[in-house]
Amino acid sequence: MPAPHAAPHVEKAEEGLKELANWITLLTEKAHGTPWADFLHRWENVFFAWLIGAILVFVAFLGTRKRKDVPGPFQNLLETVVEGLEHFVTDVLGERGKKFVPFIGTLFLYILCQNLIGIIPGMKSPTSNLNTTAALAITVFFYVQFTGLRENGIIGYVDHLLGSPRDVVGWILVPLNFPLHVLQEFIKPMSLALRLFGNIMGEDSLIAAFVGLGITALGFAHLPFGIPLQFPFLLLALLTGTIQAVVFSLLSTIYISLMLPHEEPHEEHATATH
């Protein structure tokens, strides 16, 4: 617990990281102190995360309920997105990566929408909260471990953690390799969560700061708006939000590839021949 004299400094530091107010924030300020307002404020990140999930499910439902051999514009768009995600995964994992497309593709679209929704006035990026990014990273962690067990079996999975020793030197290094591999598996989700959270939180805080500067610049006129100094950073957020979704998904795909058993040379040659 901070000392009493340190409290003002803590409050100032927290104020410096404030995001733009969303519609839940505005609503809870008007009804401050009521149980339902406190509930909404406490769970606002979860609400926006669920909202995005519901929108994605609804879009998928609309695009697949009446599929046609000659697709219309909307179905064609969705098929293009799915094909692009399939190429994204198979470029890393090869043909065996097709079965991982639903997970990686859903992960990418979900994170992308969470990153970009904060650009819309009145909305908030759930990925600007560490709890959200940690939940996503933990999901990836368990999926990767499950994939390792399913593809390698228990013996192959343990062999991977031991560093796949095949000679005397390899077995001598097992006491070093095993704890390092286990630690590495836990560091991976931690890095995913912190990277995504730090970038999106930084973007949102930067946009909020320039919105405040724009309002302050016209403060003398007592107008209900300010100079849109944040506009260039909104465009930058579009780019960086997309990049962060790609990085998170790409690293997740690589972590899966590291768990897959190595293909034998003759299998690779046969695949290339066909």
Answer whether 197's CB lies under 8 Å from 133's CB.
yes
User: Residue 45 domain-assigned?
Assistant: yes
User: Could you report the per-residue pLDDT of 64-95, keeping only the tens digit for each?
Assistant: 887 777 777 888 888 899 999 999 999 999 99
Residue-number span of the structural domain to which 54 is assigned: 21-273
- Examine the pLDDT at 187 and tell me if it is beyond 70: yes
Determine what percent of the chain is predicted with pLDDT higher than 90.
45
Query: Mean per-residue pLDDT for 96-123?
Result: 93
As for how many domains the chain has, the answer is: 1
Whether the per-residue pLDDT at 249 is higher than 90: the answer is yes
pLDDT in tens, 47-70: 999 999 999 999 989 888 877 777
Portion of the chain with pLDDT greater than 70, in percent: 86
Given this model, what pLDDT does residue 2 score?
42
* CA pseudo-torsion sign 246, 251, 257, 259: negative
| Polymer length of the chain | 274
Domain assignment of residue 10, yes or no:
no
**Per the domain annotation, does 256 fall within a domain?**
yes
Please tell me the distance from the alpha carbon of residue 37 to that of residue 40, in angstroms, as a whole number. Answer: 5
- Residue 30: inside a domain, yes or no? yes
- 115 assigned to some structural domain: yes
Q: What is the pLDDT of residue 133?
A: 96
Checking if the pLDDT of 13 tops 50, the result is no
186 is a domain residue: yes
Q: Does residue 258 fall inside a structural domain?
A: yes
* Residue 94 belongs to a domain: yes
